[in-house]
Amino acid sequence: MPLEEIESKATDAHERNRDLSLRYIASDGSDVEHSMADAIILLYTTGRVSGTVRRVPLASFPDGDDLLVIASKGGAPDHPEWYLNLAGDPKVWVRRKERLYEARATVLDGDERASRWEPIIERHPAFGKYQEQAGRTLPVVRLAEV
């Protein structure tokens, strides 16, 4: 799907995120009310069942030229839908401020995950709490521009 169609065809994964997503798009990310506003991106995945483009705002963490996102779902015991979608199709789109680009999602594991996880929870302890609460290892996903 061409980049110019992504935002026009995307639906929000959860209605509660719709206002945040629309404000983000309208302001190129500068008018977002969130504790991690500077780190928020919009991630677009293809629904594994519906085939529709789904949009979700997420906190991101820089990793060289790439971004990392955590599939925390606020500490829920099951994975978020966006994670299940990209596990089925790693072609995603990322909106970071005014830029919208295609990316490839890769789930980190082993030492690579551990080396990224520790600095994230040192700076943002809530993710460590989410992992304890969830009772599962929270996936760390790299988003690399293609």
Q: What is the pLDDT of residues 29-85, one digit of tens each?
A: 998 877 787 899 999 999 999 999 999 999 999 999 999 999 999 999 999 999 999
| Residues across the chain | 146
The candidate with the shortest Cα–Cα distance to 59, out of 87, 76, 85, 82, is 82
DSSP state of 65: T
pLDDT at 1 over 80: no
pLDDT at res. 31: 87
Q: Considering the domain 3-145, what is its CATH architecture?
A: Roll (2.30)
Residue 23 has a CB neighbour count (10 Å cut-off) of: 15
Q: Are 116 and 137 in contact (CB under 8 A)?
A: no
